[in-house]
Amino acid sequence: MMKKLVVRAGMLVMIMSVIFAGSAFAAYESESNDFYNQANTLSNVPFGQTGEAMFGTFREGGDIDWYSFNTPQNGLQQVLVVPPSGQTVTYAIYDAALYTPGSSVGHILSKVNVSGFDVSNFYVQAGHSYYLFIYGSSSGSNQYMISLSYQT
């Protein structure tokens, strides 16, 4: 019961940070981040705190963007992905210490054809770095949003 309450509180904070994403709570993708070794860093905050949402833009013809993040403790990690309006995205998360390009080693989570607000939970280990990649096309609206938080 308490875990559900904490997860819901975390989701509410993430939603509110998206709604009120002013310059104090928003970061913007920096190109080039088309490969894992060029990953932009994502902010990762405890549930219940307002984090910094990352806004990215899909470039011409289909774009893969890479991000990295760390976690200070073992436990539940939450990722919120909001795709561009009217589009679908695919995203995946890997343990950076185990990731090998072109391999599924270190794979933790994948979501395919996400067409709306998506929240996923997964477990992380303290001191580990993780990669998140997101893929989408550039037709129509092309801005997406990612936000992270972890259970304390």
pLDDT tier, 102 (very low <50, low <70, confident <90, very high otherwise): confident
pLDDT tier, 25 (very low <50, low <70, confident <90, very high otherwise): confident
In the Cβ-directed half-sphere of 11, how many Cα atoms lie within 13 Å? 13
Percent of the chain with pLDDT over 70: 82
Q: Could you give the CA distance from residue 107 to residue 92 in angstroms, rounded to a whole number?
A: 8
Q: Which CATH number fits domain 2-150: 3.75.10.10, 1.10.1740.10, 2.40.50.90, 2.60.120.380?
A: 2.60.120.380
Q: Is the pLDDT of residue 129 over 60?
A: yes
Q: Is the pLDDT of residue 27 over 80?
A: yes
Cα–Cα distance list, 93 to 22, 28, 49, 99, 122 (Å): 27, 20, 22, 10, 10
Token representation of residue 120: 């996923």
The model's pLDDT over 108-127, given as tens digits with 9 standing for 90+, comes to: 989 988 999 999 999 999 99
* 18-47: average pLDDT: 80
- Report the run of H or E that residue 57 belongs to, with start and end: strand 53-57
Most confident of 5-14, 84-93, 137-146: 84-93
- Report the run of H or E that residue 42 belongs to, with start and end: none
Which of 44, 95, 52, 49 shows the shortest CA–CA distance to 69?
44
Which of 2, 152, 1, 150 shows the shortest CA–CA distance to 77?
150
